Structures are given as structure tokens and as C-alpha cells.
Copies of this chain bind each other. A is one copy, B any other.
């Protein structure tokens, strides 16, 4: 454990004071080129590393950004984090990561952890169970906050979403075009805006195509494969089961697919299935799954950019205005809805 050198050591070596060293190291202040070079050289020789705790304490800036997601192992979130991390790291920030595991309590706790660590800003996506968002609003009064994907409505908080309504309409358009008529919906909890929008888009789509909106075809749940199978079980015990399912997530869709396999239901012939997220696995399963691409990495990047924007606004002493960015989703048609199977043509 070698002891690290400080600006005092450098000062001693060069024969000036610590304050002069500090200035020389930061470049911006007026200092003679000679001393600056001497300082730089000495710093090099001593293997000087600036003590971030000290400067953080002094300046109030930690160079830390927190990212809070339900779970890092979902490919949507890990891609988003990948995108954000790259942008933030390039801008000289370090990234802290926490998982809420879809629990509101955890979420609060982790956000608190960020506060204690003195992050300069946070990028977050809400957990499924999160209904009260007061603590987020509280937080965002103090520091920049950008929400992405799973957001709540608040004029004063920046967010990045995809146009989920639009996406769901596109999905129904496609299904209708393929001749599906009895389209069910397996949604997520509707207090999450994204899921709510998908639900609305689904309904709008049905109406647009003159299809019936049936309450008993609409479900709301956690993104759980087993739940999906249970729901399908009940649907297929009806005299008129659906001929297509719009799932609010790929994992739900996977559950539907498993159910179909177990019951020998032909996909896409007897049952069309659409997922949501374009998880990596959707293109590899059989039949490959029609889904909606959410541009996860780009969303992460955009979230990081908005946050950096806000931070720099604050440093310039301006009031940071909240912004929102909406990504236009892309329907990826694959075999699970391709009723007359032409040549497979992914992506």
C-alpha cells in the first residue's frame, strides 16, 4: 500500500504553495507556463492522483451519476445502461447502478443510497409496484432526474419514452391486416404509463379496424410467464377463444407461446402472438416472435444526454427546463404472426 502523494508534496518539490499547484493543475487560472510545467512534471514523477473525496467535499461535485432500474438482467435495461454508461463515462462521470427488483421499498432505499453518495443526477425507470412517486418528485427538486421507459407524468421531470400508444396501434394494424379478428391483450400494470398507453393503443386499434373490444379479453398483470400461461388456459376454455394475443412484454409472449405448444395450438395459424421489447431471444425462438423494438440503447444514451444537459444548465446557474424525448417504435414482423409463411425475412 504505497502512500499517495498530495498537492502539498508537489508544492514542496516545486518550491511553491499548494494553492498554486491547484491552479496549475486546473489550467484555467492565470499561472505562468514555467510553474505549470514544473508542476505537471512533478505530478508525473510523484504519480499524483487527485483525491476525489477532498475535491468533492470542497466543490460539492462528485462526478457520480446514479442509474436505477428494476433489474439489470433484463436485456432492455442492460442495453439501456450500456448506452447511458458510454455517454456518461465519455463525459467524465462515473456510473452507480442499483436495482429496485420492482419493489417500491427497495427503490426508495436505493434512491436514498444515491443521495447519500451525493450523485449529481439520477436516471431511473420505475418498478412495477411503484404507485406513489412522491419520493421521486422530492428527489427531483434537489437534483436532476431523468426517467425513462417506465415513467410517471410530471411536467417538471424530464423523460424518455417510446410512443407506446402508437406502437400498440401498429401491432393491431398488423394483426388486423393478417386477418386476426379476436385479439386479446395481456398487459402490465396500468399504473405504469407505458403499459397504460399500450392498452389504450390496443383498444384504439381495435376500434379503428371495427373489431370488438371485449373486457374479458383484457388482462393486467406482472410480467410473469406462468401468469401468462394461466390466463391463456382460462381464455381457451371459453367457447370463443382469441385468435391473437398482444402481450405487453416478450416474456409474457413467451408464456403464451409455451401454452400454445403445450396445447398443440398452431402459431401463427390458429393463434398470432406479438411481444414487446425485441429481447435478444425473440429472434431465435421458434416460431420467431413478432415484437416491437424499443431502441433500448438509444434510449439510454438519450437519457444520459438529457441528464448532462440539466447538470450543465445548473452549473451555468440557469434553471434547468425539463425536456421529453419520444422514440418512434418499430414493429418487427416475424413468424409468430406471419400467417402465410413467405420466405423468412427477419429484421
Q: Which residues of A contact B (CB under 8 A)?
A: 1-2, 49-54, 56-57, 62-64, 71-73, 75, 78-79, 81-82, 85-86, 89, 94-99, 110, 113-118, 141-142, 254, 280-281, 284-286
Are B52 and A117 closer than 8 Å at their CB atoms?
A: yes
> Using Cβ atoms and an 8 Å threshold, which residues of chain B touch A50?
116
Are B62 and A53 closer than 8 Å at their CB atoms?
A: yes
A53 to B85, CA, bound (A): 23
A to B CB contacts below 8 Å, 8 in the list? A53-B53, A53-B62, A54-B57, A89-B110, A94-B98, A94-B114, A94-B117, A95-B98
Number of copies: 2
> Using Cβ atoms and an 8 Å threshold, which residues of chain B touch A62?
53
> Using Cβ atoms and an 8 Å threshold, which residues of chain B touch A79?
73
> Using Cβ atoms and an 8 Å threshold, which residues of chain B touch A2?
141-142
The 8 A-B pairs at the shortest CB distance, nearest first, are namely A286-B286, A281-B281, A284-B285, A53-B57, A78-B78, A53-B56, A73-B78, A97-B97
Distance from A89 Cβ to chain B, minimum over Cβ atoms (Å): 7
Chain B residue at smallest Cβ distance from A257: B284
Are B284 and A254 closer than 8 Å at their CB atoms?
A: yes
> Using Cβ atoms and an 8 Å threshold, which residues of chain B touch A85?
72, 97-99
> Using Cβ atoms and an 8 Å threshold, which residues of chain B touch A75?
73, 75, 78, 280
A53-B57, A73-B81, A85-B99 known; 11 new pairs, CB 8 Å cut-off, are A2-B141, A51-B118, A63-B117, A64-B96, A71-B82, A75-B75, A85-B97, A94-B96, A97-B97, A284-B285, A286-B286
